[in-house]
Amino acid sequence: MKRTPMEAVILSDSHIKLVRAINDDYSAKTGFKRRAFIKTYGCQMNAHDSAKLESMLSDMGYERSEDEKNADLVIYNTCCVRERAEEKVFGKLGLLKAYKSNKPDMMIALCGCMVQQNAILDKTLKIHKHIDIIFGTFNIRRFPQLLFSRIETGGRVVDVWDEHDEIDEPVILNASFKASVNIMYGCDNFCSYCIVPYVRGHERSRRADDILDETRKLAANGAKEISLLGQNVNSYRSGDTNFAALIRMINDVDGVERIRFITSHPKDLSDELIEAMRDCKKVCRHIHLPAQSGSDKVLRDMRRGYTRERYLGLLAKLRAAMPDIDVTTDIIVGFPGETERDFQDTLNLVEEARYSGAFTFIYSKRAGTPAANMPNQIDEKTAKDRFNRLLAAIYPIALELNQRSLGRALMVLAEGKGANGLLTGRSEGNMTVHIDADERYIGSIIPVKITACKTFYLVGEIA
């Protein structure tokens, strides 16, 4: 069932029209539009894939549904980076079985990273017979074809590929003021704990011209903030263009006001890139630079390719070049063999690095990765305890850094209206800011005077 495709060109556009005709016919008969619901798990890469699916769904005549219950088509775009993410999806699939027994026409599709694992795919096929379509991370573009095939044949459609060299992605042109652009796919780093390289394939960079072309079109359609996406954006290379050169090119695109990128890997963060960030005024003064651990021994066992000293040296260089830059990170506790001493090194790294935010994780064993077979796996209680102590170290620093903004004006992209009635947006440092302002500012970058500071957000008014 798994295969590496021979055909490079995929004629999905014609399938979009075929499904559209079926849905238009349904609407003409019933007076209702068919509705689709997508639930996305995992990282920005998956979120962007879901945006591509949404764009295809809209072209196929589907209306968006806000929940599973009212949907004719339910799509789960899955993540498997930690066990918890997978458990959630299996839980949801169980629930859907009940919905579907009341509504037999409902169609269920499962895609994303989870199904790229053979064992999980086999288990899913066996246990969850109510899933109609399963496809992997290499063939998002074929979705309309798979959907059409399911509608026509009535049989289950499974299309999961091991690898795919072609980069032939649908482009989303009707973007809002915030848009993402994939610059690369896959990862070659094989950090010992991580499953991503196995489910997203080897690293492939897109052509710089294609990236620029997509960015120009997005900007022409109103995108002000562009996020460049990749598992390791610093190792981007296409022909003579490396990542530093790429951001200089993006910085010159008219209409783009802000540039972000995620994720940077410390081992590939060059001086040239730091200079490019400093020179490019549209590049937000923020970097997400996952440290993972503060212990050299753990970093070595994780195969991260840098030491604590080198990591802290990078932060010093970044701050020397851009004194106001905010730094956020990812940290894992409870990696196999992590001693209390090692963990103390992570705590004091946090003190030294001074993060304005951090994603923190308890190590999760992933079948097939080297760390899963390492000795001295850490028990749950110890890991949980370290996790709580880590948060207790991170929060006061984040609050202290936020408090520096009190009384100052920050430039904030207003993104929408929150439940509290205030607008909500993001500062350059990617901090959430609640703004006392009216809705017409949504989509604009506005100066906001900060009046209150919390650990996870700021509050302000138009300056």
Binding site residues, ligand SAH, CB under 6 A: 81-82, 193-194, 196, 231-232, 263, 265, 290, 292, 330, 332, 361, 363-364, 366
Q: Kindly report the CA angle at 384 between 382 and 385, in degrees rounded to 5?
A: 65
CA–CA distances in Å: residue 430 to residues 219, 227, 394, 458 = 20, 12, 17, 11
Q: Applying CB under 6 A, which residues contact ligand F3S? A: 42-43, 45-46, 79-81, 113, 196, 199-200
The correct pick among 15, 204, 265, 386 for binding ligand SF4 (CB under 6 A) is: 265
CB of 42 or CB of 61, closer to ligand F3S: 42
Q: How far is the CB of 260 from ligand SF4 (least distance, A)?
A: 17
- CA gap 25, 17 in Å, rounded: 12
Site for ligand SF4 in 214-233 (CB under 6 A): 231-232
Cα dihedral 368→136→206→176 (10° resolution): -120
Q: Is 196 in the site for ligand SF4 (CB under 6 A)?
A: yes
Give the closest residue to 73 by CA, choosing from 86, 50, 57, 93. 57
CA–CA distances in Å: residue 33 to residues 59, 70, 105, 148, 262 = 13, 12, 14, 17, 37
CB of 17 or CB of 202, closer to ligand F3S: 202
Radius of gyration (Cα) for the chain, nearest Å? 23
CB of 229 or CB of 325, closer to ligand F3S: 229
Residue at shortest CB range from ligand F3S = 42
CB of 265 or CB of 308, closer to ligand SF4: 265
Q: Is 235 in the site for ligand SF4 (CB under 6 A)?
A: no
Q: How far is the CB of 80 from ligand F3S (least distance, A)?
A: 5
Give the closest residue to 390 by CA, choosing from 356, 348, 424. 348
Question: Residue 82 touches which of ligand F3S, ligand SF4, ligand SAH, none (CB < 5 to 8 A by kind)?
Answer: ligand SAH
Q: Is 329 in the site for ligand SF4 (CB under 6 A)?
A: no
- CA gap 400, 355 in Å, rounded: 10
The interface region with ligand SF4, picked from 29-37, 55-63, 189-197, 352-360 by CB under 6 A, is 189-197
Q: How far is the CB of 369 from ligand F3S (least distance, A)?
A: 12
Give the closest residue to 35 by CA, choosing from 66, 63, 1, 15. 63
Q: Is 191 in the site for ligand SF4 (CB under 6 A)?
A: yes
Q: How far is the CB of 305 from ligand SAH (least distance, A)?
A: 11
Q: How far is the CB of 167 from ligand F3S (least distance, A)?
A: 16
- CA gap 25, 31 in Å, rounded: 10
Q: How far is the CB of 242 from ligand SAH (least distance, A)?
A: 18
Q: How far is the CB of 265 from ligand F3S (least distance, A)?
A: 14
- CA gap 295, 301 in Å, rounded: 10
- CA gap 184, 206 in Å, rounded: 6
Binding site for ligand SF4 (CB under 6 A): 187, 189-191, 194, 196-197, 231-232, 265
